[in-house]
């Protein structure tokens, strides 16, 4: 074999092998979410496949090439590691993509990106929504939402619920001022009871911040991608029940009168 061909093959083999090794890093990294707002806690975690004794993970956090945070993290015996960062302070002033870079040993690097929105750029909407109650008119629900928009509010009288349909572009929160006249949760003695809150069919907790004589203010957290928030109480638009009962009574009375007239014996 020609020596030039032989050495050429050797060079290609070395380059290919080196490229393969460069592609296989001993370390991985991720965050617990893809989108964060100011004040959020960012959990950065990962794993190394081969633990190198007394070698920490070096973590660097960048935005637009500027260093935001740096840390050295101890690796557990099983190869896992984690680190938390609070997204606040003077270095967290820019919205956009942030890059997490971790280094371990010689040439082992992994990266992960997430987006960040400072408080000054977070979109918070506060307004009224006019809920359609069918033939019974409408009623207003005041709300504040962050992390999405309200598409619709629907009355479901069968389950005494107000269904809030949202377009959740990020994890967020919605606060609703529910008028007692139209929706509520009460015990038999008339005292307030808890609402049942379902998000896409899964029950979740909520916070009740204020209780007024004419309304109750509740706050619900949601995740990115959530769509239907069901607020289930013990009554929804009381007129539904009253009118339905009146129609039923009128129907029964009409049936009785017609029956008596049909079978009445004339002397």
Q: Per residue in 38-80, pLDDT tens?
A: 999 999 999 999 999 999 999 999 999 999 999 999 999 999 9
Question: What's the token pair of residue 207?
Answer: 């916070």
**Strand, helix or coil for residue 23:** helix
**Strand, helix or coil for residue 212:** coil
What are the backbone dihedrals phi and psi of residue 224, each rounded to the nearest 5 degrees, phi first? -60, 130
**pLDDT tens track of the chain, all 267 residues?**
554 544 444 444 444 444 434 457 799 999 999 989 899 999 999 999 999 999 999 999 999 999 999 999 999 999 999 999 999 998 998 889 999 999 999 889 999 999 998 886 667 899 999 999 877 789 999 999 998 999 999 999 999 999 999 999 888 899 999 999 999 999 999 999 999 999 999 999 999 988 899 999 999 999 989 999 999 999 998 654 444 444 444 555 555 455 454 444 443
Contacts of 138 (CB under 8 A, 6+ apart): 130, 131, 132
Burial class of residue 199, CB neighbours in 10 A (0-12, 13-18, 19+): buried
Residue pair 164/229 in contact by the 8 Å Cβ criterion: yes
């Amino acid at each position: 074999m020609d020596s030039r061909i032989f050495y050429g093959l050797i060079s290609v083999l070395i380059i290919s092998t080196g490229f393969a090794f460069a592609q296989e890093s001993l370390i991985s990294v991720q965050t617990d979410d893809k989108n964060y707002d100011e004040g959020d806690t960012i959990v950065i975690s990962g794993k190394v496949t081969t633990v190198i004794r007394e070698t920490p993970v070096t973590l660097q956090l960048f935005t637009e090439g500027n260093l935001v945070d740096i840390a050295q993290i101890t690796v557990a015996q099983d190869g896992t590691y984690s680190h938390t960062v609070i997204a606040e302070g003077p270095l967290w002033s820019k919205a956009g993509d942030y890059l997490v870079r971790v280094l371990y040993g010689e040439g082992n690097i992994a990266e992960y990106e997430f987006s960040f929105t400072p408080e000054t750029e977070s979109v918070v909407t506060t307004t009224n929504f006019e809920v359609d109650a069918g033939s019974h008119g409408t009623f207003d629900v005041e709300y504040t939402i962050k992390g999405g928009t309200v598409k619709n509010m629907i009355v479901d009288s069968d389950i005494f619920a107000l269904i809030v349909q949202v377009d959740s572009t990020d994890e967020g929160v919605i606060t609703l001022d529910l008028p007692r006249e139209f929706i509520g949760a009460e015990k038999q003695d008339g005292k307030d009871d808890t609402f049942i809150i379902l998000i896409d069919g899964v029950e979740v907790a909520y916070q009740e911040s204020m209780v007024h004589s004419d309304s109750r203010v509740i706050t619900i957290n949601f995740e990115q991608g959530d769509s239907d928030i069901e607020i289930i109480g013990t009554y929804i638009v009381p007129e539904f029940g009253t009118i339905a009962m009146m129609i039923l009574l009128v129907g029964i009375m009409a049936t009785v009168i017609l029956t008596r007239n049909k079978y009445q014996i004339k002397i």
